[in-house]
Amino acid sequence: MSIIRHDWTKQEILDIYNLPLMDLLYKAATIHREYHDPNVVQVSTLLSIKTGGCPEDCGYCPQAARYHTDIEGNDLMSVQQVKAQALRAKASGSSRVCMGAAWRNVKDGPEFDNVLEMVRTINKLEMEVCCTLGMITENQAQRLAEAGLYAYNHNLDTSEEYYKEVISTRGYEDRLQTIDNVRKTNVTVCSGGIIGMGEEVEDRAGMLVALAKLSPQPESVPINSLVAVEGTPMEEEKPVSMWDMIRMVATTRIVMPKTQVRLSAGRTEMSREGQAMCFFAGANSIFAGDKLLTTPNPDVNEDMEMFKLLGLNPQKPFVKKAQPETIEAADSKFESLGEKPKWSRPGHSIERNEIAKEKAKGIAADK
């Protein structure tokens, strides 16, 4: 089998990315078959359990409170609402539910206690549970693990160099620290990024260097194509080409052979033929449902039609790792510490983010 390397250089990854396409696809598909069943793709459902009002300034995100994007915010969903959505997702073929909350970081208290109960509830439905809640401490990660969390998502987004052109309200090191906190538990790591934010190919390679350097490498790496939402600083960015997505998926597969590569946001703009090439190149997970948090996504019935056409089968839960045990709150070894960690605020400003913020202020003043 291919050796798992943690010492990839940016130039090595660029050389792979820029291979003649047929050579790149052959190499990626060969490695994919060494570690994965090429005819099995995991179907996951992404559920926004708390939408909008985020204090961060991520340039791609319509949930940032400082931008005007017509996103309808909502408070934290109830455990029963989440259970109903999870059952619906399971019935449609999903084996994983990913819950996202528009928070900068987790804060100990009743809302986090409710999220822990959501994790317990979904794990008992024999579905994998993933959360993306912002930055978390080691104790918070341990509490999630006890509840039965299978995976925690915290994307690096892009290279460390280009990150400064995307977000100014949190540091790259905080993202790495959150991943490190998760690694101190039995929870798997899901971390990837977005292409099409105005970055160079070198930045895509830089992100893969950072992810591959992690030991162990992330069990899941989502590759997102930017969905440019009106009102965000990136509203004018042009969609990346299908060829860019195929090359990024294939390169990720080669650099991280054991990882599940997740074909994520932007699939509404991808043809079935393009998605088929991504699956051939090593993508073995998709998100189903009509929305990914707040952006459009193909209908699950369309995806099932595509699976049938391509001869793909949905992956069953807990194939890659055994189902975690759920420990009830009353038996938990880890309690709320009321932590107030000082996550960094780099302090620089990003021109296009500031322009979008001022534009939002003008719209609000006119109402």
Q: Is 98 a catalytic residue?
A: yes
Is 61 annotated in some ligand binding site?
yes
Instruction: Give the active site residue among 98, 183, 253, 278.
Output: 98
Instruction: Give the active site residue among 58, 96, 120, 131.
Output: 58
Is 131 annotated in some ligand binding site?
no
CA distance 285 to 289: 13
CB of 227 closer than 8 Å to CB of 296: yes
Is 104 annotated in some ligand binding site?
no
Q: Is 262 a catalytic residue?
A: yes
Instruction: Give the active site residue among 61, 96, 131, 143.
Output: 61
CA distance 325 to 329: 13
Is 98 annotated in some ligand binding site?
yes
CA distance 207 to 306: 30
Nearest by Cα to 168 from 341, 342, 340, 344? 344
Q: Is 278 a catalytic residue?
A: no
**The CA-based dihedral angle spanning residues 293, 299, 301, 307, taken in that order and rounded to the nearest 10 degrees:** -80
Is 54 annotated in some ligand binding site?
yes
- Amino acid 245 reads M
Is 130 annotated in some ligand binding site?
yes
Instruction: Give the active site residue among 120, 247, 253, 262.
Output: 262
Residue 202 CA, chain-centre distance (Å), reads: 21
Q: Is 131 a catalytic residue?
A: no
Q: Is 54 a catalytic residue?
A: yes
CA distance 342 to 121: 31
Instruction: Give the active site residue among 96, 131, 143, 190.
Output: 190
State both tokens at 40. Answer: 């099995």
Instruction: Give the active site residue among 96, 130, 183, 247.
Output: 130
Instruction: Give the active site residue among 54, 120, 170, 267.
Output: 54
Is 190 annotated in some ligand binding site?
yes
State both tokens at 119. Answer: 């994790």
What is the greatest pairwise CA distance in the chain? Answer: 62
CB of 287 closer than 8 Å to CB of 296: no
CA distance 129 to 120: 9
Nearest by Cα to 162 from 198, 191, 135? 198
Q: Is 143 a catalytic residue?
A: no
Active site residues: 54, 58, 61, 98, 130, 190, 262
The annotated binding site is made up of: 54, 58, 61, 98, 130, 190, 262
The annotated binding site for [2Fe-2S] cluster is made up of: 98, 130, 190, 262
The annotated binding site for [4Fe-4S] cluster is made up of: 54, 58, 61
